[in-house]
Chains A and B, each alone.
Chain A
Amino acid sequence: MRTIPDLTTNYLGLRLKNPLIAGASPLCRDLDQARRLEDAGIAALVPSSLFQEEIEHELSAHNHFEQLGAHSYAEALSYAPGLNYTPGRPQEYANLIATLKAAVEVPVIGSLNGSTLGGWIDYAKLIEQAGADALELNIYVVATDPQQSGADLERRYIDILSAVKATVSIPVALKLAPYFSSLAHFAREVDRRGVDGLILFNRFYQPDIDLEQLQVVADLVPSASHEMRLPLRWIAILDPLVDASLAATTGIYAPEDVLKLVMVGADAVMLCAVLFREGPAAVTRILEGMRTWMHDHEYEGVHQMQGSMNHCCCSDPAAFERANYLRALHSFA
């Protein structure tokens, strides 16, 4: 009789039935989709983020349009009905979290996306109160200001993290960009300040050019499988360095991708593009593939392989470092 490998894992202090999480995307907004993902075996859900820009823009847009043309002309002292206005998006997001919590049994992780300190952080509390099991904090900065140093930016991450940690008691994970001068150092810094998890990496919208209109256009290109290698390297490096949970995102399509990431130290992986492409069936396929591989290779469970090939535990640590580059060049040659 074949033993079924144990896929359970611990992420942000949450016990998950397997490492597969539906990453922040509009998929989880739809209750039917969420239920189908759960039925397919997903271990946790992250509905797409509540954005700082969204909240602040909503407030300032309302303010702007309420004032537009007001008190200028005797017959029309305003052009919009005077409503006692509160931004609806945060409450809508909180309602979504509450609805998801009622609809599924797996953990639901809220996601808050921003780039600077501000009142929007208060909405973390709203997400917690709605029943979220944890919070993913997505700090999204494209560092274009030449006056701002890397240290300044790191300080900003830490300040936002500290503000959110002070606001909520649920676990808080930080979703990072890959563009840090010294990611290991920074990861240790946030780890020391109590971050419960790190998600590697944030995927930026990359601009394109419309040649006909001579305009810059922005759209989201789904990640490709090879992009998984970047988080793979960094999870391997960070796993021995931090206590926080580690999750990988970007380019995860196959059971093998998950296994590799778990082996370098990931506690969980975020699926996104693959769910858009295949739907919930992808979850079943990946889980089945993982089980088969683990069974074939006689692994008892995920816990056994977790971190087994990280920077410390692997046989060739240099492979995660610059040497890797030289070796790759030689093999290409």
Chain B
Amino acid sequence: MVRKVLLDGNEAAAHIAYRLSDVIAIYPITPSSPMGEWADQWASEQLPNLWGTVPSVTEMQSEAGAAATIHGALQTGALAATFTASQGLLLMLPNMFKIAGELTATVFHVSARTVATHALSIFGDQGDVMAARTTGFAMLASGSVQEVMDLALVAHAASLESRVPFLHFFDGFRTSHEVMKIDQVADEHILAMIDERLVREHRARALNPDRPVLRGSAQNPDVFFQAREAVNRFYLACPQIVQRTMDRFGELTGRRYRLFDYFGSPDAQRVIVMMGSGAETVHETVEHLMKAGERVGLLRVRLYRPFDAAAFVAALPKSAKVVAVLDRTKEPGASGEPLYQDVLTSLLEQQVAGRGFTVLPRVIGGRYGLSSKEFTPAMAKGVFDEMKKPDPGNHFTVGIEDDVTHTSVAYDPALDIEADDVFRGLFFGLGADGTVGANKNTVKIIGEETEQFAQGYFVYDSKKSGSVTISHLRFSKRPIRSTYLIRRANFVACHQQTFIDRIEMLEQAAPGGTFLLNTQASAGDVWGTLPREVRRELLNKRLRFYVIDAYKVARDSGLGGRINSIMQTCFFAISGLLPREEAVARIKDAIRKTYGSKGEAVVAKNCAAVDRTLENLFEVPLPSSAGNGRVRPPVVPAEAPAMVRDVLGEIIAGRGDGLPVSAMPVDGTFPTATARWEKRNIALEIPVWDGDVCIQCNKCALVCPHAAIRPKVYPPEHLAGAPPTYKSVEARGGEFKGLRYTLQVAPEDCTGCGLCVEFCPAKNKRQTALKAINMAPQPPLRPAEQENYRFFLDIPDFDRAALKLGSVKGSQFLLPLFEYSGACAGCGETPYLKLMSQLFGDRAVIANATGCSSIYGGNLPTTPWAQNAAGRGPTWSNSLFEDAAEFGLGFRLAIDKQQEFAAHLLDRLRGTLNAELVAAILGADQSDEAGIAAQRARVEQLKAALADAETLEARNLLSVADSLVRRSVWIVGGDGWAYDIGYGGLDHVLASGHDVNVLVLDTEVYSNTGGQMSKATPRGAVAKFAAGGKPADKKDLGLMAMAYGNVYVASVAMGANDNHTVQAFAEAESFPGPSLIIAYSHCIAHGINMRLGLNQQKLAVDCGHWMLYRYDPRRAARGENPLELDSHAPKVPLEKYAESENRFQMLLKSEPERARRLLLDAQQTAVRRYSEYARRAGQTPPG
């Protein structure tokens, strides 16, 4: 009996790899991380492989480490596998050459992802696997979730037989994350596919001191070449072995594959050659075109390496006149993309050899689908149409508008070939409202409980807070091959009322379809709330329109803000996919399955919500005309800069696919200060200031992760023309005598996290529940506060040279140059970045490691890095995950060199320039803000003097003159970078002695990829890849850096001591050598109430888990102890801290004895570590 399962491509690949491996080495990278997570989870559940033992699953410090570990495990006889993508695969390349050169059987499963070039992209294309095609790995491509499971097994079996290692790949996200109903390969079939004799032979080749060998020798010009050629016969035999393996698999399962699978007219004249998920779309298109009588076909490439030219040519219909080869990659400067070149070479070689075609077909090549760009039947037809032309374009692109080099093939975007009987649903939800989870559940219900095929694909936002999710669900009686987004939906659901104004969703509704809206408006009133565009779509397409107030139902049912079960019930109730009663029963079953382990109360609440839903779901009769509704507001205001309005605004509006090549920068360079134009209005509540209670400490502004609450002091005359609700009070403090003080909230940028309110120390004496800032609903406050905020921003900032920048209060009067990021609401990292931007942003150059900070800092459409009124601000770049330290060192070296060159030229031009000015510039003291401001003025004077100069030296000086103002180089990254993948580089840069500032935003876990363990993860914490709790202590990065003696090191936690943080930043930046700040950053991955994040920071310090210290080599030079220990000895038990975070709680609850043992050890470490630091700091260690 075939078991039908619903899973995604990652799980399908991991399922096979896990069953066939002894050793798995992993490292997180999107979109392959879930494969490793599955393996780790199964191992923690003691699930055995097919040989009855639990595979050893080990997380490494990088993909390079994972590949080397696999290499080692293979060399000592294990069956070993790994998973990766993109840059991760690139880091594995050196070992892949070795593994292949040593003819070692293994499979690397790759969810193919774009390689970073002008920008990073987490999405899918085959650029990464194409970079691996010279390694000697065989390469097998899967195009659907079913194929992933099937061909994963073929890869493992064929690798063992051929001794050629395999790279099994499938498209990132489109296949890795698509949930499909597939046939699971039964364990007995997996066993039947593996020849135990080959496994034993693999083991017999292992390094074994009982029969010692030497492998991995160094060879010389005399024999290396011959030895390299010795592998040939294995590669020659490999394709036949793969075909035999596929045939054996077909006999067992009935699913048959060929090295090259042809589908289409037997006498096709136009054939597309391609691999991956796009082939499914072309398959659908070919079916459609054949029905119209067109002679077209598709040749799917399964085994890409070794490329069997004879098999390829044999599989291609000899009737073909034009062959279009589609590559999902770009190789700039090449004579064509890789598959295109292979096809050309094969055809020609075979013809020369007298096989295949007597007259070669015309071969054209094109690129499609880079970075998960949609590839639709319309685009496939566009290619077929191009092939009809007498002189079809070559080296074309499809799916974009290339209005610069005119490569793009034309297509009709309106073409829709999906059959009417395929149910297509589109669901627009918030990340936090459970829409995706509910839709995955729906796919499961339909897939498991009916005969229908089911497909779920989910599109996520580029923001981490207030993110929009779009679920694409298809159900059909026939297998689903549509590997593209739904463009014509029978059912559209809007789970958040505010989306109506922001997202063009009904444009994607099919005529006669259904629209479901979650709204507070009643069925009678809702029409009046809709914008005109939505009304028109409803009427023109004659949609059936339903409304529900899901949040009210959720509240009444005790579910808080979780509306997933409610909206899911609505969907079943009105979609007609299942009889209503049956659907309700199935949803309740699903609720029991999903929440059964969470307790009866959770189940009961959700089931009650299901019943209430049906009573609150109403159909809205449509009026005969649209009436005079409001028009949708513009996405960005008309006064925004052109780039923001015309390019970034289109991306914000969800119309980025329509932007032509000419709209894009040629080298990935974008303006900063753009987040301010993207008003997201995601906060349900915002802080409201009570000036009478406020003590003007500015702590709220310091800790705001989004720079959405700002203080300002200014002369009273600036209040002229203030909006009626604008608030100000007399400023406190001698230096601000006679001035006014305002604390203003940015109502549309605040995320409502509440950190500011929690951190506010001023309580209202009349009502102690209130403070100087208190949360209140945003919508009624928005109009007035918008006006107030605009007025506030127009008031000039206080002179930064006159502020006490070493204090919290003083620093917060500085303009934040990091604002309104898309980081999680309540993020623990961004307050540090904001502080850095305030103190040094106007002269900062930032090298940012890949991770959360590079995503909320640099993910399009907008960036939070901002500019001051003079147009100065942080300039930012991301190179890779592993190299931020070296990248930043490069900045420093270049800036220093330019400075040196500028000084040299100044000296040479001394005679032609104002000598006094030259002397002042060269001798400038830039140790404080006043000195820097003075130097800036001098440099401006110099530049003015040089403006008209014509000598080479003068022109050169003008080009480097800016570097005469002190630059602040910042290297920023998370603990995954600093402790793990980038540690080697970081260590080297710290040892170099150069003046760089390193900020480690330590969340103690890989936050960006979803919470995998890093070496910063504390002992006893549960994380992905450490499901049983991390057994080892956190690495002491600060101590390692201090060992150099010439590195400034600070360990800070803003929530524990905010002044200490400000002081450390100021000291680090002023230190004329390498500085390292390790900043405790609470994180959503800790499993905490993010509103209390700063309290957790304090608790972390109080229990000794985190210490506050500053190590300043300048003190040593003065004969003082360089280390100052700034936190007190542990004063609360570490268990109290652990009990307040779910990362520890999970283990305390699931394995209490192990958890207590680990925490006891952690407690002892904390005490011992504190004593050790106290001793180093010259203090008496606590008794």
Chain A residues with a Cβ under 8 A of chain B: 55-56, 58-63, 65, 67-89, 92, 118-119, 214-215
Residue ID in chain B nearest A122 by CB atoms: B600
Query: Given A71-B469, A75-B30, A214-B768, A83 and B432 touching (CB < 8 A)?
Result: no
Query: Is A74 in contact with B1027, judged by CB distance below 8 angstroms?
Result: no
Query: Given A72-B461, A73-B431, A84-B597, A79 and B763 touching (CB < 8 A)?
Result: no
Query: Given A67-B434, A77-B34, A83-B41, A72 and B464 touching (CB < 8 A)?
Result: yes
Contacts of B1023 in A (CB 8 A): 81
Alpha-carbon gap, A74 to B824, bound state (A)? 14
Query: Is A74 in contact with B1142, judged by CB distance below 8 angstroms?
Result: no
Alpha-carbon gap, A282 to B963, bound state (A)? 79
Contacts of A80 in B (CB 8 A): 1011, 1022, 1024, 1085, 1087, 1142-1143, 1146
Q: B1087: which of A55, A65, A72 is its contact (CB, 8 Å)?
A: A65
Contacts of A70 in B (CB 8 A): 431, 437
Q: B460: which of A63, A73, A81, A89 is its contact (CB, 8 Å)?
A: A73
Alpha-carbon gap, A65 to B1022, bound state (A)? 13
Contacts of A88 in B (CB 8 A): 1148-1152
Query: Is A81 in contact with B30, judged by CB distance below 8 angstroms?
Result: no
B1008 is an interface residue with CB less than 8 A from chain A: yes
Q: A62: which of B458, B1142, B1152 is its contact (CB, 8 Å)?
A: B1142
Alpha-carbon gap, A214 to B30, bound state (A)? 47
Interface residues of B in 1140-1167 (CB under 8 A from A): 1142-1143, 1145-1146, 1148-1152
**In whole Å, how far is B661's beta carbon from the nearest beta carbon of chain A?**
25
Q: A79: which of B44, B45, B1084 is its contact (CB, 8 Å)?
A: B1084
Query: Is B602 in contact with A63, judged by CB distance below 8 angstroms?
Result: yes
Query: Is A73 in contact with B464, judged by CB distance below 8 angstroms?
Result: yes
**In whole Å, how far is A120's beta carbon from the nearest beta carbon of chain B?**
8
Chain B 115-129 near chain A by CB (<8 Å), digits 1 or 0:
000000010000000
**In whole Å, how far is A211's beta carbon from the nearest beta carbon of chain B?**
11
Contacts of B595 in A (CB 8 A): 63
Contacts of A119 in B (CB 8 A): 599-601
B301 is an interface residue with CB less than 8 A from chain A: no
B467 is an interface residue with CB less than 8 A from chain A: yes
B855 is an interface residue with CB less than 8 A from chain A: yes
Contacts of A214 in B (CB 8 A): 763, 768
- Provide a sorted-by-A list of 23 A–B residue pairs whose CB atoms are within 8 angstroms: A59-B598, A62-B1145, A63-B595, A63-B599, A68-B1087, A69-B431, A69-B824, A71-B434, A72-B430, A79-B1007, A80-B1022, A80-B1085, A80-B1087, A81-B37, A82-B41, A83-B1146, A87-B1149, A88-B1151, A92-B1152, A118-B600, A118-B601, A214-B763, A215-B768
Residue ID in chain B nearest A63 by CB atoms: B598
Residue ID in chain B nearest A84 by CB atoms: B45
Alpha-carbon gap, A58 to B1152, bound state (A)? 13
B173 is an interface residue with CB less than 8 A from chain A: yes
Query: Is B1010 in contact with A78, judged by CB distance below 8 angstroms?
Result: yes
Alpha-carbon gap, A325 to B1043, bound state (A)? 76
Alpha-carbon gap, A69 to B1088, bound state (A)? 11
Contacts of A82 in B (CB 8 A): 37, 41
Query: Given A68-B1087, A73-B461, A88-B1150, A79 and B768 touching (CB < 8 A)?
Result: no
Chain B 424-461 near chain A by CB (<8 Å), digits 1 or 0:
00000011101111000000000000000000001011
Most buried by B among A60, A79, A80, A83: A79
B40 is an interface residue with CB less than 8 A from chain A: yes
Query: Given A72-B460, A75-B30, A77-B34, A61 and B1145 touching (CB < 8 A)?
Result: yes
Residue ID in chain A nearest B825 by CB atoms: A69
Tell me what chain A mostly uses at the interface: helix, strand, loop, or mixed: loop
Interface residues of B in 517-576 (CB under 8 A from A): 562
Residue ID in chain A nearest B467 by CB atoms: A72
Alpha-carbon gap, A81 to B1029, bound state (A)? 11
Query: Given A68-B1084, A83-B1150, A62 and B460 touching (CB < 8 A)?
Result: no
Query: Is A72 in contact with B431, judged by CB distance below 8 angstroms?
Result: yes
Residue ID in chain A nearest B460 by CB atoms: A74
Alpha-carbon gap, A68 to B1150, bound state (A)? 19
B1063 is an interface residue with CB less than 8 A from chain A: no
Chain B residues with a Cβ under 8 A of chain A: 30-31, 33-34, 37, 40-41, 44-45, 122, 173, 177, 430-432, 434-437, 458, 460-461, 463-464, 467, 469, 562, 595, 597-602, 763, 768, 824, 855, 1007-1011, 1022-1027, 1084-1085, 1087, 1142-1143, 1145-1146, 1148-1152
Alpha-carbon gap, A58 to B1146, bound state (A)? 9
Query: Given A70-B437, A72-B432, A85 and B1150 touching (CB < 8 A)?
Result: yes
Query: Is B1022 in contact with A71, judged by CB distance below 8 angstroms?
Result: no
Residue ID in chain B nearest A54 by CB atoms: B1149
Residue ID in chain A nearest B465 by CB atoms: A72
The 8 A-B pairs with the shortest beta carbon distances in the complex, nearest first, are A72-B431, A76-B1010, A119-B600, A71-B436, A59-B599, A88-B1149, A74-B460, A65-B1087
Alpha-carbon gap, A119 to B605, bound state (A)? 13
Most buried by B among A76, A80, A83: A76
Residue ID in chain A nearest B768 by CB atoms: A214
Query: Is B1007 in contact with A76, judged by CB distance below 8 angstroms?
Result: yes
Contacts of B1009 in A (CB 8 A): 75-76
Contacts of A86 in B (CB 8 A): 597, 1150
Query: Is A62 in contact with B1010, judged by CB distance below 8 angstroms?
Result: no
**In whole Å, how far is A122's beta carbon from the nearest beta carbon of chain B?**
9
Contacts of B461 in A (CB 8 A): 72-73
Query: Is B598 in contact with A72, judged by CB distance below 8 angstroms?
Result: no
**In whole Å, how far is A225's beta carbon from the nearest beta carbon of chain B?**
31
Residue ID in chain A nearest B29 by CB atoms: A75
Query: Is B1022 in contact with A74, judged by CB distance below 8 angstroms?
Result: no
Alpha-carbon gap, A119 to B431, bound state (A)? 30
Alpha-carbon gap, A80 to B1011, bound state (A)? 6
Alpha-carbon gap, A82 to B44, bound state (A)? 10
Query: Is A60 in contact with B601, judged by CB distance below 8 angstroms?
Result: yes
Contacts of A58 in B (CB 8 A): 1145, 1149
Contacts of B41 in A (CB 8 A): 81-83
**In whole Å, how far is A214's beta carbon from the nearest beta carbon of chain B?**
4
Residue ID in chain B nearest A75 by CB atoms: B30
Q: A81-B1025, A88-B1149 are in contact. List 17 more A-B contacts (CB 8 A).
A: A56-B601, A62-B598, A63-B602, A70-B437, A71-B435, A71-B437, A72-B460, A73-B460, A74-B177, A81-B37, A81-B1026, A84-B45, A85-B1149, A87-B599, A118-B600, A119-B600, A214-B763
Alpha-carbon gap, A208 to B1140, bound state (A)? 22
**In whole Å, how far is A185's beta carbon from the nearest beta carbon of chain B?**
32
Query: Is B1008 in contact with A79, judged by CB distance below 8 angstroms?
Result: no
Contacts of A92 in B (CB 8 A): 1152
Query: Is A85 in contact with B597, judged by CB distance below 8 angstroms?
Result: yes
Query: Is A75 in contact with B1010, judged by CB distance below 8 angstroms?
Result: yes
Contacts of A62 in B (CB 8 A): 598, 1142, 1145-1146, 1149
Contacts of B460 in A (CB 8 A): 71-74
Query: Is A81 in contact with B437, judged by CB distance below 8 angstroms?
Result: no
**In whole Å, how far is A170's beta carbon from the nearest beta carbon of chain B?**
23
Residue ID in chain A nearest B765 by CB atoms: A214
Alpha-carbon gap, A274 to B687, bound state (A)? 49
Query: Is B1008 in contact with A71, judged by CB distance below 8 angstroms?
Result: no
Query: Given A62-B598, A68-B1084, A75 and B1008 touching (CB < 8 A)?
Result: yes
Alpha-carbon gap, A9 to B948, bound state (A)? 109
**In whole Å, how far is B116's beta carbon from the nearest beta carbon of chain A?**
14
**In whole Å, how far is A97's beta carbon from the nearest beta carbon of chain B?**
14
Residue ID in chain A nearest B437 by CB atoms: A71
Query: Given A69-B431, A78-B1010, A85 and B37 touching (CB < 8 A)?
Result: no
Contacts of B1007 in A (CB 8 A): 76, 79
Contacts of A77 in B (CB 8 A): 34, 1010
Contacts of B1146 in A (CB 8 A): 62, 80, 83, 85
Residue ID in chain B nearest A68 by CB atoms: B1084
Q: A61: which of B431, B435, B1142 is its contact (CB, 8 Å)?
A: B1142
Contacts of B436 in A (CB 8 A): 71
Contacts of A60 in B (CB 8 A): 598-599, 601-602
Alpha-carbon gap, A55 to B1149, bound state (A)? 10
